[in-house]
Amino acid sequence: MYFSPKQTHTTINRRNFLQQSTLLAGGFGLLPSMAASPTKDLIIGHGDFRYKVDAEWGKLDQATPVKDCHEMVQDRLGRLILLTNHTRNNVIIYNKDGKLLNSWGDSFPGAHGLTLKDEGGEDFLYLTDTELHQVIKTTPDGREVLRIQNPKLKDAEGNLRPFLPTETAIAENGDIYVADGYGSQYIYVYDQQGNLKQEFGGPGPADDQFHNAHGIAIDERDGTPKLLITARKKNQLKYFDMAGNYLSTIDLPGAFICRPVVRNTEVYLATIWSGDGGSNTGFVSVLDRNNRLVSAPGGLEPTYTGGKLSPVSQAITLFKHPHDVCVDDDENLYIPQWNAGQVYPIKLHRV
């Protein structure tokens, strides 16, 4: 089954939004001053994870346009690498001040996932393209190293499975884990030469199955590498061991999440939709070392009752559809967005 990112969603209830905005104003004392400038001096987030908004960061002219800004990473040189599906420049490279350093790429119309991996002291990028139905490995300057095609496997009825890969995670041994999040809902495992080794997951309601396996990452925070995989339509993250055996689930009710980004002791998530899944309802989620939601920049303050997270939702419409979180070496965040009017990423300065 194909789960399109452009599915129709119900709109957020206006009364609920106004109630949420009032709550945010009481919590931060910020909204009354937003009439003159929507983001001037705006600080969002909760607890130890609060951020000052910079909506002007990284804006470029029409010589370097963007369409959907899907994902972003920081390389070993401190450069910020943005992936967009605009075929004039699929990859845009910034410094931390938002200055353009380089751009390249005109052949990835469905550019979606971007993973960076240090392999023997050299950085490599792994791009997923949902229109080309491929995974492409390149150097940071765009030299192609490997291309993984549709594995052309069949489902139980004998039909060819769709292959629309959304994300990758790269193990220390070079294995490439590919989340087929808009296609078959399987996780495919390839060796570093691009040979298919294994698959697991698939569509369905079971613990070890997925409904929109949108993102995947490797979580080593407790010293043992594990796969952390998004089940976006289920509002869940799922843990698997590196062999593909299901371990556990993290429930995030009301949060339609993109890929998990593991950094230091936290997990960062772009919540592309929230609440009832309406359009323009996104915010950012920060999970602590115990996988508890401790901050929701742009969303209501998270609360737990009886150890369970209460349903989450957007508080202010700063973000439309956040699609990724890039954490730099100063713990500032950069938020690329899908379907947001061709805007450049918003920077959140840690305060």
In a domain, 8, yes or no: no
In a domain, 308, yes or no: yes
What is the sign, positive or negative, of the torsion defined by CA atoms of 9, 237, 316, 59? negative
In a domain, 6, yes or no: no
The tally of domains found in the chain comes to 1
In a domain, 7, yes or no: no
Q: Which domain holds residue 141?
A: 14-350
In a domain, 280, yes or no: yes
Kindly tell me the burial class for residue 311, based on how many C-beta atoms sit within 10 Å of its own C-beta (0-12, 13-18, 19 or more). Answer: middle
Predicted pLDDT at 205:
96
DSSP label at residue 34: G
Q: Where are the alpha helices (DSSP H) in 175-276?
A: none
- Most distant CA pair in the chain: distance in Å? 60
Please state, in angstroms and rounded to a whole number, the distance separating the CA atoms of residues 139 and 105: 12
256 φ, ψ (degrees, to nearest 5) = -95, 100
Q: pLDDT tens digits for 179-229?
A: 999 999 999 999 999 999 999 999 999 999 999 999 999 999 999 999 999
pTM of the shown model: 0.90
Predicted pLDDT at 284:
98
Do residues 273 and 280 make contact, with C-beta atoms less than 8 angstroms apart? Answer: no
CATH value at residue 333:
2.120.10.30
Q: For each successive 10 residues of the chain (351 residues), what is the average pLDDT?
A: 39 36 38 53 97 97 97 97 98 97 98 97 97 98 97 93 98 98 98 98 97 98 98 98 98 98 98 96 98 98 97 97 98 98 98 97
Do residues 316 and 31 make contact, with C-beta atoms less than 8 angstroms apart? Answer: yes
State the DSSP H helix or E strand holding residue 19, giving kind and residue range, or none if neither. helix 14-28
In a domain, 68, yes or no: yes
Predicted pLDDT at 37:
57
